[in-house]
Amino acid sequence: MSYRIGVDIGGTFTDFALYGADGGTMAIHKQLTTPDDPSVAVLEGIGDLLSRNDVAMAAVDEVAHGTTLVTNAIIERRGAVTGMLVTKGFSDIPDMRLEQRYDLFDLRLEFPTALVDRPRRREIAERIRFDGTIAEAVDLDAARKAIGDLVETHGIEALAVCFLHAYANPAHETAVAEMARRDFPDLYVTASADVVPSMREYERWTTACINAYTQPMFDRYLGRLEGGLSELGFTGKLYIMTSSGGVLAPDAARQYPVRMLESGPAAGVLMSALHGRAMDLPELLSFDMGGTTAKGALVRGGAPLRKYEMEVARVHDFKRGSGLPVVTPAIDMIEIGAGGGSIADIDERGLLRVGPHSAGADPGPACYGAGGRKATLTDANLILGYLDPDHFLGGDMALDVKAAEQAIQDTVATPLSLDLPRAAWGIHEIINEDVARAFRIHASERGFDYRDSSMVAFGGSGPLHALAIARILKVPRVIFPIGAGVMSALGLLANPLAFELSRSRIALLDDLDREAFAATFATLIDDATGFLRRADIASGDITVRCIVDMRYYGQGREIEIVLPDTNIAAQFDALTTLFEARYAALFSVSTPGGPLEIVNWKVEATGPDTGLQSGYKMTTAAAAKSDARKGIRRAYFNTDAYDCPVYDRYQLDAGVTIEGPAMVEERESTCVIGPGETANVDAAGNLIAELGVN
């Protein structure tokens, strides 16, 4: 039998899933991430996973990989020394940004600093007009001299070529990029119109700089990973997940590392949507909490909400405009600095604060016994009785209760004059409130009423907090899928190869005809499907979806219109009707007969479905028992202590009902069911809690 492996690198743990080609068996694994070189944990974990399940590497056909390495490199500023070539007179755009304040009343407003500071920018004589015509030819000799100066003076490893209106005509950027690659072969070169062929210079240039800044690091990482897999005997295909949920072959991933910003978290959202469709629950909150962060996303109509713009390295967690803008296809998520490693301390007001800083994997929470001295959420959950110190990671990793108690006593309980359980409960509750607040903001901004939806909870820490958060939000139902602790790794196996392209070409609808409309899309379709064909996907197995961003002439922003059919020429006649219906749905009014304008043209190319379904069986389950109940553990809920039954998740049969307070343990996670709460096991092994809060 052949196998597929999903690997998701997190800030604290790296998760693994081994899926059998028979379509019904799944083995999982989790181990600490190695921050200095994440590929070490990946390779060690794959070897351990295969050994535990007596599977030879030669039987593995595919490894799908998700990682937040690119995001972390930007946040921690660990990318390459990068230079930038810009059109003469426009070198200050990265500092001027959009000339907008994201908070009108904050007198101490901060913005993230540009990835390429001013001394490493060079102006080049060239000019292309907004319509793509050339006003001044590019000076290649000046560009060559500028690059040489950047290499010699600043030792740049990467270069971003960012010219004005390159989206309308990339000729100058292409010429300079080709020259740079030829004359400076060790330099990683990114042309902005290749990465983002879209209007709005600041967003396009920032995206190009991020791509250049992270390209050397990501290329070296993939090289180590490919080399290590080869040494293990792997001869199959390696794929990398993108922020939009598709997967790419390594060559495409190397070319566009900016598309991997939310690589790992996207996989969990896709798996949430898959479970929702299987259970006929199309409206979902996807809640993923791991060791470092929590991620929230919305699923509407069975599909995750998507976007083509995002922000990274925000100065203020919840304020749009406080980060670096990125134009790339992505699943719409909110990220919160809340995870098992979130550090608890006392702020300048003398109040308890938890996160956003994390103890990470090294040294990790105090209870890991690796030298950590700061109190964390995992330490609090251990003291509250939610975690078994002898069963963490299925018993592979013992937790030090005394170290956790000492850390919370020293940093929280004593300064606030609280007893230990009360201090631990405060840490636990603050995280619940922080996550609920972030969800509330994210859903409200998108017009999503979560009170009529369900929550899918996963990640190593998510099932410990999900029911409390759902009760705060008044979400009526929470679903804990089997294998919840490593669900992002499972999600990596759920989505096919895919590639999206978006290009700006502003055109009045009245100035277009069927032929011109179809011709523009034909070029995009050929480019997008080319990435899949080069990954050995047959043309007949590729599905294409076409989208246009449209607006009324004179407006500053556009809305997305999905063409319902791949017969592009035939869809042209229906564009006005489609736009007015969508506009009215969003804004409750439209202007029939108003002049329309197309701004962006988008194509999404997708390969064949992977065939992953919910209802898989975990091969890591222990030998069958006559009783799924493992024992009793004392746990705290607020100030009250309860003797709670503890259940082995893998031994629960369909139809079983669990009355809270209780704990249901998997190898990688624990579901906490509070007093007065009830959960049932369905036919697919999902644990479903009905809260009845509405």
| Residue 489 contacts residue 6 (beta carbons within 8 Å) | yes
State what percent of residues in the chain have pLDDT above 70: 97
Task: Give the model's pLDDT for residue 623.
Answer: 43
615: pLDDT strictly greater than 80: no
Secondary structure class of 486 (helix, strand, coil): helix
Taking residue 513's Cβ as centre, other Cβ atoms within 10 Å add up to 11
Task: Give the model's pLDDT for residue 614.
Answer: 65
Q: What is the C-alpha separation between 425 and 138, in angstroms, rounded?
A: 64
Task: Give the model's pLDDT for residue 624.
Answer: 44
Report pLDDT digits (tens) over 206-221.
999 999 999 999 999 9
Q: What is the C-alpha separation between 373 and 390, in angstroms, rounded?
A: 21
471: pLDDT strictly greater than 70: yes
Q: What is the C-alpha separation between 299 and 440, in angstroms, rounded?
A: 15
Least-confidence region, from 190-199, 584-593, 672-681: 584-593
Least-confidence region, from 73-87, 133-147, 537-551, 604-618: 604-618
Averaged pLDDT score across all residues of the chain: 89
Q: Where are the beta strands (DSSP E) in 43-169?
A: 60-67, 82-87, 121-124, 127-128, 134-136, 158-162
Secondary structure class of 2 (helix, strand, coil): coil
Secondary structure class of 622 (helix, strand, coil): coil
Neighbouring-strand partners of residue 504? 600
| Residue 283 contacts residue 299 (beta carbons within 8 Å) | yes
Arithmetic mean of pLDDT, 156-179: 96
| Residue 101 contacts residue 109 (beta carbons within 8 Å) | yes
Arithmetic mean of pLDDT, 483-500: 85
| φ, ψ for residue 243, nearest 5 deg | -65, -25
Arithmetic mean of pLDDT, 662-672: 91
Task: Give the model's pLDDT for residue 291.
Answer: 81
Report pLDDT digits (tens) over 625-666.
457 898 999 999 988 999 999 999 888 888 999 998 999 998
CA-based nearest residue to 598, from 519, 503, 507: 507
Report pLDDT digits (tens) over 58-113.
999 999 999 888 888 888 888 999 999 999 999 999 999 888 888 888 888 888 89
Task: Give the model's pLDDT for residue 102.
Answer: 83
Task: Give the model's pLDDT for residue 161.
Answer: 97
Indicate the pairing of strand 158-162 with strand 188-191.
Answer: parallel
Least-confidence region, from 210-214, 409-413, 586-590: 586-590
497: pLDDT strictly greater than 90: no
- Which amino acid is present at 344? A
441: pLDDT strictly greater than 50: yes
622: pLDDT strictly greater than 60: no
Angle, alpha carbons 416-418-423 (nearest 5°)? 90
Q: Where are the alpha helices (DSSP H) in 374-448?
A: 377-383, 401-408, 414-416, 420-445
Query: What would the DSSP string read from start to end of 538-599?
Result: -GGG-EEEEEEEEEETT-S--EEEE-SSS-HHHHHTTHHHHHHHHHHHHHS---TT--EEEE
Which helix (H) or strand (E) element contains residue 502? Answer: strand 498-508
Arithmetic mean of pLDDT, 240-262: 90
Task: Give the model's pLDDT for residue 621.
Answer: 45
Q: How confident is the model at residue 359 (pLDDT cuts 50, 70, 90)?
A: confident
Report pLDDT digits (tens) over 304-322.
998 888 888 877 766 778 8
Report pLDDT digits (tens) over 17-41.
998 876 667 888 888 888 888 999 9
Least-confidence region, from 310-324, 397-411, 454-468: 310-324
Arithmetic mean of pLDDT, 359-371: 86
149: pLDDT strictly greater than 90: yes
Residues in the chain: 694
Task: Give the model's pLDDT for residue 23.
Answer: 63
End-to-end CA distance of the chain: 48
| Alpha-carbon separation of residue 203 from 88, 120, 167, 195 (angstroms) | 18, 19, 12, 11
pTM: 0.86
3-state secondary structure 150-199: HHHHHCCCEEEEECCCCCCCCHHHHHHHHHHHHHCCCCEEEEHHHHCCCC
- Which amino acid is present at 229? L
650 or 285: which leads in pLDDT: 285
| Tokens coding 571 | 């869809």
Least-confidence region, from 313-327, 365-379, 664-678: 313-327
Q: What is the C-alpha separation between 289 and 474, in angstroms, rounded?
A: 19
Taking residue 608's Cβ as centre, other Cβ atoms within 10 Å add up to 14
Least-confidence region, from 355-359, 543-547, 576-580, 615-619: 615-619
Q: What is the C-alpha separation between 395 and 122, in angstroms, rounded?
A: 57
Arithmetic mean of pLDDT, 551-562: 90
